[in-house]
Amino acid sequence: MGKPTGFLEYERATGPVSAPKERIRDFREFHEALSQADQERQGARCMDCGVPFCQAGMMLGGMATGCPLHNLIPEWNDLIFNGSWEEAFKRLQKTNSFPEFTGRVCPALCEAACTANLNGEPTAIRENERAVIERAFEKGYIKPAPPQVRTGKRIAVVGSGPAGLAAADRLNKRGHSVTVYERFDRVGGLLMYGIPNMKLDKSVVERRVELMKAEGVAFVTGVNVGAAPDSAQELLDRYDSIVLACGASRPRDITAPGREAEGIYFAVDYLRANTKSLLDSGLADGRYISAKGKNVMIIGGGDTGNDCVGTAIRHGCKSVVQLEMMPKPPTKRQPDNPWPQWPRVLKTDYGQEEAIAVFGRDPRIYQTTVKTFIADDKGRLKQVITVRLEPKKDEKSGRIQMVPVKGSEQTLEIELVLIAAGFLGSEEYVSQAFGVETDIRGNIKTQPGEYATNKEGIFTAGDMHRGQSLVVWGIYEGREAAREIDRYLMGYTNM
């Protein structure tokens, strides 16, 4: 390492972030970059630790720890420290197709596993990664590089999220002819319409898509493959192989009485409509679900729920609460959750920070769920009755279950509910149209660690394969599926 004692000499630092009350005025990204000198010092904090858990990408304690892509983190941190930014980029792109995405939205599994995190602050790996890729675009290290030789093989990728784009990128670079199909009007899938603009500016997605186009990847938008008559068969007839990477887009619903009231929406629909209106007209067309002046309830405490909090506040909501069924996590690691496991501790994300700044309190209400939705005489939601939950051990299964506490009901004035309770697998019409098998969770079935479905020449990757997950896992699966498809088509692979 260029600076073996860097982690002792330099404190962890990340780029400045706009104050909550300032950034809620618009939907722009609010995280700025460090200066080049400061970023290079952060590269120096990478320890000569011997065993880089940061790039291990393994399962510990039932959760992933370390980078699933096995990024060569110590190598490019060292190159950053030494000012070798172009070489750092070359090292980074060996394993990560889209660092500009993971450098913004990944929860940084690498940092949780960083050896410096055992007794101090981890290296700012995610920020270093983002700095490398942004500098690469700025300095022209990245240029369109279409393959010089084409194999003559044609591949259709259904879905343009992180898995679909990663598979398309790798297969195109190999020399295959790739066409990506997207059912919405813009390319990007989850990256475009599932993540708000202030978290991932859509110009970043469009920049990568334009680069892929220049390298020969074709994109077709507004085509819902599987839903349109004979659309699946048309692809089967036209292409040598097909990749199904349509995501896990079936949202989990809430079955409480009064669910039919007007004013209850799935979070995915809320976020998609907001981003589309923002891109189409700067929200001037009004074609989105507005939270302005409303008391908002968000059901679900994950990333999607947090994104809904931030979006509702930018709309100008009157108030916002976020229900979580599980107990409040501890603020520090517990003895049964040691490093380098993923830390199961309380995290306050940007949306919650903004709610605290605007309304003076954390919006999260733990161990609580909806008991009843109440509508007014016109069918519009006006109130929600919640009930407290407590953990109890089921006598038959031995599992801990969250059960309602009698007499704990509370009535809240709520006009808008957003359901962010997770997803139930892929859209059934796609798997049915292609005749591929699914598992009990609704995901497309393959052999463990493989990506080929039960149908000859059809492969799958991403959330459609593994269930709702992270962008980094989508990129990993897209890359791995591409290798398997290349071997299928060519009889060998050099990926």
Name all contacts of 389-394 with Cβ < 8 Å and 24+ positions apart. 389/325, 391/327
- Nearest Cα residue to 69 out of 100, 47, 102: 102
Calpha distance 235→157 (Å, rounded): 10
pLDDT range class, residue 293, cuts 50, 70, 90: very high
pLDDT range class, residue 479, cuts 50, 70, 90: very high
| Contact between residue 447 and residue 129 where contact means Cβ atoms under 8 Å apart | no
Residue 453 has pLDDT above 80, yes or no: yes
Other CB atoms within 10 A of residue 25 CB: 9
Calpha distance 363→77 (Å, rounded): 37
User: What pLDDT, on a 0 to 100 scale, did the predictor assign at position 312?
Assistant: 98
Residue 281 exposure: Cα atoms within 13 Å on the Cβ side:
9
- Nearest Cα residue to 139 out of 131, 128, 147: 131
Q: Which are the contacts of 83, defined by CB distance < 8 A and separation ≥ 6? A: 40
Q: What angle in degrees, to the nearest 10, is found between the helix axes of 85-93 and 125-139?
A: 110
Mean pLDDT of the chain: 96
Q: Could you tell me if residue 209 is left (phi over 0), alpha (psi between -120 and 50 degrees) or otherwise beta?
A: alpha
| Contact between residue 15 and residue 127 where contact means Cβ atoms under 8 Å apart | yes
**Strand 241-244, strand 154-158: pairing:** parallel
Which whole-number Å values give the CA distances from 188 to 213, 220, 278, in the listed order?
A: 13, 12, 16
Tokens 């903004």, located at residue: 354
**In one letter, which amino acid is 134?**
E
Mean pLDDT confidence for 93-108: 97
Calpha distance 147→144 (Å, rounded): 10
Q: What are the pLDDT digits (tens) for 12-31?
A: 999 999 999 999 999 999 99
| Contact between residue 211 and residue 144 where contact means Cβ atoms under 8 Å apart | yes
User: What pLDDT, on a 0 to 100 scale, did the predictor assign at position 219?
Assistant: 98
Percent of the chain with pLDDT over 90: 93
**CA trace torsion 285, 302, 440, 462 (10° rounding):** 70
User: What pLDDT, on a 0 to 100 scale, did the predictor assign at position 61?
Assistant: 87
Mean pLDDT confidence for 376-398: 93
User: What pLDDT, on a 0 to 100 scale, did the predictor assign at position 176?
Assistant: 98
pLDDT range class, residue 1, cuts 50, 70, 90: low
The structure's pTM equals: 0.96
Residue 441 vs residue 292, higher pLDDT? 292
| Contact between residue 154 and residue 176 where contact means Cβ atoms under 8 Å apart | yes
The angle subtended at Cα 119 by Cα 118 and Cα 123, nearest 5°, is: 70
List phi, psi (to 5°) of 454. -75, -10
DSSP letter string, 79-103: HHHTT-HHHHHHHHHTT-S-HHHHH
User: What pLDDT, on a 0 to 100 scale, did the predictor assign at position 395?
Assistant: 83
Q: Using the 8-state DSSP alphabet, how is residue 43 labeled?
A: H
Instruction: Find the range with the poorest average confidence among 284-288, 339-343, 356-360.
Output: 339-343
Mean pLDDT confidence for 464-483: 97
Other CB atoms within 10 A of residue 40 CB: 22
- Nearest Cα residue to 488 out of 455, 462, 463: 455
pLDDT range class, residue 101, cuts 50, 70, 90: very high
pLDDT range class, residue 114, cuts 50, 70, 90: very high
User: What pLDDT, on a 0 to 100 scale, did the predictor assign at position 473?
Assistant: 97
Other CB atoms within 10 A of residue 56 CB: 19
Q: Which are the contacts of 92, defined by CB distance < 8 A and separation ≥ 6? A: 71, 72, 76, 99, 129, 132, 133
pLDDT range class, residue 2, cuts 50, 70, 90: low
Q: What are the pLDDT digits (tens) for 232-266?
A: 999 999 999 999 999 998 999 999 999 999 999 99
Q: Which domains does the chain have, with CATH numbers?
A: 6-139 (1.10.1060.10), 154-249+424-490 (3.50.50.60), 264-419 (3.50.50.60)
Residue 449 has pLDDT above 80, yes or no: yes
Q: Please name every residue paired with 241 in a beta bridge, in sequence order, or none if there are none.
A: 155
Q: Using the 8-state DSSP alphabet, how is residue 193 labeled?
A: I
Residue 90 has pLDDT above 80, yes or no: yes
- Nearest Cα residue to 158 out of 221, 249, 92: 221
Q: What are the pLDDT digits (tens) for 173-212?
A: 999 999 999 999 999 999 999 999 999 999 999 999 999 9
